[in-house]
Amino acid sequence: MRSSDSSALFVVGVGRVGQAVLDELQRLPEAPRVIGIARSSGAWLEPEGLQTGSWRERITAEPDGALDDLVASAIDHPAAARIVVDCTAGHALAAHYCELLEAGVAVVSANKLPFAGPLADYHRCFEAAATAPLRIEATVGAGLPVLCTLGDLIRTGDRVLRIEGVLSGTLAHLCDRLDAGDTLSAAVRNALQLGMTEPDPRDDLAGQDVVRKLVILARTAGFDLEPEAVQAEPFLDDPKLFELDESSWWDRLAAHDAAIARRWNEARKHGNRSAYLATFADGHASVRLEEVPPEHPVASLSGTDNMVAFTTRRYPTHPLVIRGPGAGPEVTAAGVLADILHARGVLRGR
Ligand SMILES: NC(=O)c1ccc[n+]([C@@H]2O[C@H](COP(=O)([O-])OP(=O)(O)OC[C@H]3O[C@@H](n4cnc5c(N)ncnc54)[C@H](OP(=O)(O)O)[C@@H]3O)[C@@H](O)[C@H]2O)c1
């Protein structure tokens, strides 16, 4: 028998984002009870709920089981609002999304991978979400209200004509540092030291993260886009760089400093800025480093700011623009928390 006002939360992944979610939860007046936590080494389960603030201590003990046990516990738990949160960057939990949703358990995900792969997987997940909410706001723009705004436009009958934006806070920061005169290798080192990059910064330079976000945006707007259809140029086009080991790839990166500086000078001479731009229009998707004129909406961005502009049937000449910090554990956690509270409200029937 399910208790109508109770809720049970299960957080999978306690890296940068998962930790921020668990810490921020403690500040909420009526936070859902955390029943389970998992990381790669196992799961910790407490059917009555973990003591607030004790989760770090709890996961120093031997795990109570594996990820499968957490999934089973979420499905069997008597709370009316059961929510599993994916703060991992892999497929292990995603393999259980449909089973969870079909059992009435909401899924909140910051993880882009399950939604930016084959289209059939994306549709399968959202078809299963007929039974329980599936919320993925933090996958694009971190805490910025990008997907909910786009979803509202579509639900209210608008039609998207063009999506354009800067979707990587890390690459925006690199462009900013290059504008300020840093070399590419110094800018990458600086971003790594500030904790802004993926553990291996080459993952950012490859641009695949931006491809995934553009795919999720286009799909949310109702277009059947496959990732292979995106014309993607890496931020730095050097396949060899991605094959080298840790000790030698930094040297190879520094060898690109002069060419990148020339590219930046060229843009400056034309009175333009350089931006790693994602564009979807007329069914075509592209991701590449481009020169943008000063009047372009992204030309005024600074720091790690993201920006997405939606040109639609209702906003044909002046696009609807969302901009602001689009990376970092705290702002990403804010997007995840908003999704958790939304899912809880739906499952409680209010
Ligand atoms: N960081 C950002 O600004 C940001 C913004 C938007 C979206 N995101 C997305 O949010 C997700 C998390 O990012 P992050 O920066 O927090 O990553 P992270 O620091 O690398 O943390 C990943 C977590 O996932 C856990 N994990 C890995 N495989 C697992 C498995 N099979 N079962 C259970 N747990 C597993 C890891 O366990 P261990 O602790 O044992 O290693 C770790 O706790 C990613 O998908 C990322 O793309 C991040």
pLDDT at 198 over 90: no
The answer to whether 10 and 35 are in contact (CB under 8 A) is: yes
Site to substitute for ligand 1 among 39, 69, 107, 337, most atoms within 8 A of C-beta? 39
Residue with tokens 């990059």: 197
Q: How far is CA 218 from CA 78, 226, 280, in A?
A: 37, 10, 7
Of 115, 166, 152, 121, the closest CA to residue 315 belongs to 152
Mean pLDDT in residue range 144-158: 98
- Distance (Å, rounded) from C-alpha 331 to C-alpha 336? 9
pLDDT at 138 over 90: yes
Least confident of 151-155, 296-300, 333-337: 296-300
What is the percent of the chain with per-residue pLDDT over 70, rounded to a whole number? 98
The answer to whether 272 and 292 are in contact (CB under 8 A) is: yes
Specify the residue with its C-alpha closest to ligand 1, atom 34: 39
* Closest atom of ligand 1 to CA, residue 209: 47
- Distance (Å, rounded) from C-alpha 73 to C-alpha 93? 14
Which residue type occupies 56?
R
pLDDT at 150 over 90: yes
**Taking the CA of residue 326 as centre, how many other CA atoms within 13 Å lie in the half-sphere pointing to its CB?**
29
**Taking the CA of residue 8 as centre, how many other CA atoms within 13 Å lie in the half-sphere pointing to its CB?**
23
Distance 292 CA to ligand 1 centre (A): 33
Distance 130 CA to ligand 1 centre (A): 27
The answer to whether 79 and 108 are in contact (CB under 8 A) is: no
148 three-state secondary structure: helix
Q: Which helix (H) or strand (E) holds 234?
A: none
Q: How does strand 230-232 pair with strand 284-292?
A: parallel
Residue with tokens 């060419």: 259
pLDDT at 232 over 60: yes
pLDDT at 164 over 70: yes
Site to substitute for ligand 1 among 17, 109, 136, most atoms within 8 A of C-beta? 17
Res 166: pLDDT: 97
pLDDT at 287 over 70: yes
pLDDT at 78 over 70: yes
**Reported pTM:** 0.95
The answer to whether 165 and 306 are in contact (CB under 8 A) is: yes
Taking CB atoms and a 6 Å cutoff, what residues make up the pocket around ligand 1? 12-18, 38-41, 67, 87-90, 92, 110-112, 138, 142, 327-329, 332
The answer to whether 285 and 214 are in contact (CB under 8 A) is: yes
Res 167: pLDDT: 97
- Distance (Å, rounded) from C-alpha 135 to C-alpha 114? 12
Which residue(s) pair with 44 in the sheet?
A: 37
Specify the residue with its C-alpha closest to ligand 1, atom 20: 15
Res 328: pLDDT: 86
Rounded to 5°, the CA angle 156-338-151 comes to 20
- Distance (Å, rounded) from C-alpha 106 to C-alpha 114? 15
pLDDT at 81 over 70: yes
Mean pLDDT in residue range 85-113: 97
Res 297: pLDDT: 87
244 — phi, psi (to 5°)?
A: -80, 160
169 three-state secondary structure: helix
Summary mean pLDDT of the chain: 94
Catalytic (active site) residue 269: no
Res 200: pLDDT: 87
Query: Is the alpha carbon torsion for 155, 159, 165, 167 positive or negative?
Result: positive
Res 34: pLDDT: 96
pLDDT at 52 over 70: no
